[in-house]
Amino acid sequence: MADITSLVNGVSELVQIPSVNPLQSDDSAVTGERRLAEHLANRASDLGAEVELDNVVDDRPNLIAKFEGERSETIVIDVHLDTVAVGHMTDDPFDGRVEDDRVYGRGSVDTKATFAIVLDVLSQLREEGRRPGPTVHLVGTVSEEMGGLLGARHLSSRLQRDGHHVDRMIVAEPTMCAPVHGHKGGVGLEICIHGHAAHSSRPELGANAISAAARIIAALDNEQSRLEALDAATAVGRGTVSVTEISGGVARNIIPDLCELYAGRRIAPGEDPLEIYESLKALVVSAGEPLKVDVEMANGTAFPAFFTDPDDAFVQLIAGFSERAPETVTYGSNCLAYDDLNASKVLFGPGSIDQAHQAVEWVEISELVRASNVYQQIFTQG
């Protein structure tokens, strides 16, 4: 049974260590992921783990803490270190206060709670003179909230390069302790339309980049209508496409010579992300004619959907421990970076995604206890 006080204090302590992504250069208190990674490394080392800080980019390291188990089976638990920004928050984002049976603060639910839970369970086992059944690799990854899943992609490449075998993997996100077995992948299109400037009184002398952008948006809206009419192959649903950013024009009396768009395509299970990117690129270029249109893949990568069969043994094991049925979700996660890993993968964690990224963020203490009990069973019975 979980020690509630220890759990709550553990989450509160981690909330008080800022790890905002992107870094806020005008606020020295917001230090990125390194400080949190170092703190967790010290905690894990004190519990007997073999610890490494593996630099990913710009002095932002992944944490890798290996807790030797009693069996050869391995489980990787990926918890992203970073949180979203705090400028819109209406209370102290880093106080980690405890009120109304909740722990408050940025990262409390998304997703520092899992660090505290796993370390607390492993600490209890150590006090009892026991090791976990499987060898546990607790990993803290950088750059999940923004930056193309750099930390998870780095870890995936390393695991494959070094020939590490992974039997099971949990990616931590707030799932209300349900085992999530699928969500959409994605690819982003950064679109730049090149026109020709002219005085707005003589539009025929220019080439209006915004007008071309409007044609491109209409074409992408038509593509979304086509996707909506398709049958979904799995519970994850159909693919979608939407334009979410637009920028163009310099003055009210100048025909705009440049317009930039961002379009995001959510990818359903069974769809090939590279094929989809090339198809959308061709559609965008064609719709923008006769103007020149440049299209780049956002972050230089495209992710296939994450999908594990709901009848997978590990999915069903967690479902039994948590007493929650397997689900799919609409948001994305680091699971997208692990498509090439031959492991049973599950998204799992305490609390609701509805509380993530909010002006006030919190996690229910009852959810911490439920997740702790699940991890205790995974480490001792699973």
AA identity, residue 272: D
Q: Any idea what the Cα angle at residue 233 is, between residues 227 and 239, rounded to 5°?
A: 30
Q: In which band, very low, low, confident or very high, does the pLDDT at 41 lie, cut at 50, 70 and 90?
A: very high
AA identity, residue 103: V
Q: Assess whether pLDDT exceeds 90 at residue 286.
A: yes
* Best CATH choice for the domain 185-300 from the list 1.20.1300.10, 3.30.70.360, 3.40.50.2300, 3.40.50.300: 3.30.70.360
The pLDDT tens digits for 43-61 are: 999 999 999 999 999 889 9
Mean pLDDT of 225-247: 97
The pLDDT tens digits for 289-346 are: 999 999 999 999 999 999 999 999 999 999 999 999 999 999 999 999 999 999 999 9
Q: How far apart are CA 260 and CA 376, in angstroms?
A: 50
Q: Assess whether pLDDT exceeds 80 at residue 159.
A: yes
Give the pLDDT score at 196.
98
The pLDDT tens digits for 195-204 are: 999 999 999 9
Give the pLDDT score at 32.
84
Q: Which residues pair with 57 in a beta bridge?
A: 60
Domain ranges in the chain are: 4-183+305-380, 185-300
Q: How far apart are CA 11 and CA 79, in angstroms?
A: 13
What burial class does residue 22 get, using C-beta atoms within 10 Å of its C-beta: 0-12 exposed, 13-18 middle, 19+ buried? middle
Domain 4-183+305-380 indexed as CATH 3.40.605.10: no
Whole-structure pTM value: 0.92
* DSSP codes joined into one string, 111-169: IIHHHHHHHHHHHHHHHTT---SSEEEEEEES-SSSSSSHHHHHHHHHHHHTT---SEE
